[in-house]
């Protein structure tokens, strides 16, 4: 493409909320044959909500909430934020019903983040874990059949389950839902009509990921992936000779955004992701993935 064509296209992109960082991205985008989408915050809205809390031991709901609130208090994960909001309300309700005002620990000691699995810490003299089955496995916490049943029931409904263990025993669990973006399904369908296949990649578990993929019409899913694994999956596709785009919003996504031929960051995402990307979708609307590729195709075929 001529410098003038590139200028016209980037100007047009900017007016549409699609920021293209230079001619190189624009040149490559028309060749894209596969797009890898991050799940949380990219295909989904990214604001999870707690839809269920379940106890699996003799612990009271009050104590369960206090312990889990303390463990999640310093986590930045969207799941933690969703739980804190829900559990604090629940906790207040219990307290006002009883007209009591018990003192409780509000923050865990020795707080630790386990990327892609959860958090741990000491609440009073209790060792507390909040996270998925993989976290429990790491600490040799047994997940019995009743809990497995709870997990699969919710995962089939595209929800993510979080387990809470106190001193090596599962005390309870909660389920969160993160709805898919309204435009996601149509965008995937439209990309297919353009000859582009879509793939989902996520750190979340296989069952939830598969259920979400089905909702948006994606057939290829890669789940339970560490951040660095996301970039490896991009390279696998590139090794098959495909020009690959990656669409993501999080800190976890920046290695993959950098590895892709065309990295597209969701505007509402983190600064790190925006930095690593070639194209920024300011409106955070997935339809702009199509807009970006369209701009590139028009530039290359010199429609304007
Ligand atoms: P994603 O790729 O979907 O953004 P992450 O890699 O951030 O997911 O996390 C993967 C999984 O780890 C989550 O689905 C959740 O089960 C668990 N997890 C991570 N952090 C926390 C936390 N603070 N509290 C509870 N669960 C967590
Ligand atoms: Mg994300």
Please list all protein residues whose beta carbon sits less than 5 angstroms from ligand 2, which is an ion.
38, 40-41, 249-250
Q: Looking at residues 136-152, what average pLDDT do you find?
A: 97
Ligand 1 pocket test, candidate residues 50, 204, 223, most atoms within 8 A of CB: 204
Whole-number Å distance between alpha carbons of 260 and 201: 13
On whether the CB atoms of residues 219 and 189 are closer than 8 A, the answer is no
For residue 102, pLDDT over 70 is answered with no
* pLDDT for residue 76: 87
Q: Which of 26-35, 96-105, 173-182, 227-236 has the lowest mean pLDDT?
A: 96-105
Q: Looking at residues 282-288, what average pLDDT do you find?
A: 96
Q: Looking at residues 165-178, what average pLDDT do you find?
A: 98
ipTM, interface predicted TM-score of the complex = 0.96
Whole-number Å distance between alpha carbons of 70 and 108: 5
173 phi, psi to nearest 5 deg: -150, 160
* pLDDT for residue 100: 62
For residue 303, pLDDT over 70 is answered with no
Question: What ligand has the least distance to the C-alpha of 272?
Answer: 2
120 pocket-lining for ligand 1 (C-beta < 6 Å): no
Mean pLDDT of the chain: 93
* pLDDT for residue 103: 63
For residue 238, pLDDT over 70 is answered with yes
pLDDT above 70 coverage of the chain, percent: 97
117 pocket-lining for ligand 1 (C-beta < 6 Å): yes
Task: Report residue 236's pLDDT band, with 50, 70 and 90 as the boundaries.
Answer: very high
Q: Angle CA(5)–CA(271)–CA(200) in degrees, nearest 5?
A: 80
**Pairing state of beta strands 197-201 and 34-38?**
parallel
| Full-model pTM | 0.88
Long-range contacts of 297-301 (CB under 8 A, 24+ apart): 297/29, 297/30, 298/9, 299/1, 299/5, 299/6, 299/8, 299/9, 299/26, 299/30, 300/1, 300/27, 300/30
Going from the N-terminus, what domains does the chain have, and what CATH number goes with each? 3-46+180-300 (3.40.50.1000), 49-177 (3.40.1110.10)
For residue 304, pLDDT over 70 is answered with no
Which numbered atom of ligand 1 lies nearest the CA of 75?
Answer: 23
Is pLDDT larger for residue 101 or for residue 143? 143
Residue nearest to atom 2 of ligand 1 (CA): 203
Task: Report residue 101's pLDDT band, with 50, 70 and 90 as the boundaries.
Answer: low
Q: Looking at residues 71-90, what average pLDDT do you find?
A: 95
Task: Report residue 130's pLDDT band, with 50, 70 and 90 as the boundaries.
Answer: very high
**185 burial via Cβ count (<10 Å: 0-12, 13-18, 19+):** middle
For residue 269, pLDDT over 90 is answered with no
Task: Report residue 116's pLDDT band, with 50, 70 and 90 as the boundaries.
Answer: confident
Q: What residues contact residue 248 under an 8 Å CB cut-off, 6+ apart? A: 37, 38, 42, 230, 254, 256, 257, 263, 264, 265, 266, 269, 273
In the chain, where do the E strands start and end?
A: 18-20, 34-38, 49-55, 109-114, 118-123, 126-131, 160-166, 169-177, 197-201, 220-222, 244-248, 262-266, 279-281
Residue nearest to atom 22 of ligand 1 (CA): 118
Residue nearest to atom 1 of ligand 1 (CA): 203
Question: What ligand has the least distance to the C-alpha of 77?
Answer: 1
Distance of CA 285 to the CA centre of its chain: 16
User: For the segment 132-141, what is each residue's pLDDT rounded down to a tens digit?
Assistant: 999 999 999 9
The b-or-e profile of 112-134 (16+ CB within 10 A means b, else e) is: ebbebbbbbbebeebbbbbbbbe
For residue 104, pLDDT over 80 is answered with no
Q: Looking at residues 102-108, what average pLDDT do you find?
A: 77
Task: Report residue 178's pLDDT band, with 50, 70 and 90 as the boundaries.
Answer: very high
Which residues are annotated as catalytic? 38
Q: What residues contact residue 138 under an 8 Å CB cut-off, 6+ apart? A: 114, 117
* pLDDT for residue 22: 85
Ligand 1 pocket test, candidate residues 49, 116, 158, 211, most atoms within 8 A of CB: 116
pLDDT above 90 coverage of the chain, percent: 81
119 pocket-lining for ligand 1 (C-beta < 6 Å): yes
270 pocket-lining for ligand 1 (C-beta < 6 Å): no
For residue 125, pLDDT over 90 is answered with yes
* pLDDT for residue 115: 83
């Amino acid at each position: 493409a001529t410098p003038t064509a590139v200028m016209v296209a980037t100007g047009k992109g900017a007016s549409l909320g699609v920021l293209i960082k230079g001619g190189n991205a624009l040149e490559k985008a028309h060749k894209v044959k596969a797009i890898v989408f991050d799940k949380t915050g990219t295909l989904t809205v990214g604001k999870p909500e707690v839809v269920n809390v379940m106890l699996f031991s003799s612990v009271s709901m009050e104590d369960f909430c206090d312990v889990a609130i303390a463990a999640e208090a310093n986590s930045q994960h969207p799941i933690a934020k969703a739980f804190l909001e829900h559990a604090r309300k629940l906790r207040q309700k219990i307290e006002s019903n009883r007209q009591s005002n018990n003192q409780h620990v509000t923050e865990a000691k020795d707080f630790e983040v386990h990327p892609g699995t959860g958090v741990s810490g000491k609440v009073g003299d209790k060792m507390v874990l909040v996270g998925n089955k993989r976290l429990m496995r790491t600490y040799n916490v047994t997940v019995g059949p009743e809990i497995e049943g709870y997990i699969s029931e919710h995962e089939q409904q595209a929800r993510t389950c979080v387990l809470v263990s106190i001193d090596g025993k599962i005390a309870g669990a909660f389920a969160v839902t993160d709805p898919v973006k309204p435009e996601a399904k149509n965008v995937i369908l439209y990309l297919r009509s353009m000859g582009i296949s879509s793939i989902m990649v996520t750190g979340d578990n296989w069952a939830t990921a598969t259920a979400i993929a089905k909702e948006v019409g994606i057939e290829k899913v890669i789940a339970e992936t560490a951040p660095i694994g996301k970039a490896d999956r991009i390279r696998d596709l590139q090794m098959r000779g495909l020009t690959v785009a990656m669409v993501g919003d999080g800190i976890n996504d920046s290695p993959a955004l950098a590895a892709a031929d065309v990295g597209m960051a969701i505007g509402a995402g983190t600064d790190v992701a925006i930095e690593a990307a070639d194209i920024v979708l300011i409106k955070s609307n997935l339809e702009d993935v199509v807009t970006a590729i369209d701009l590139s195709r028009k530039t290359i075929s010199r429609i304007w």
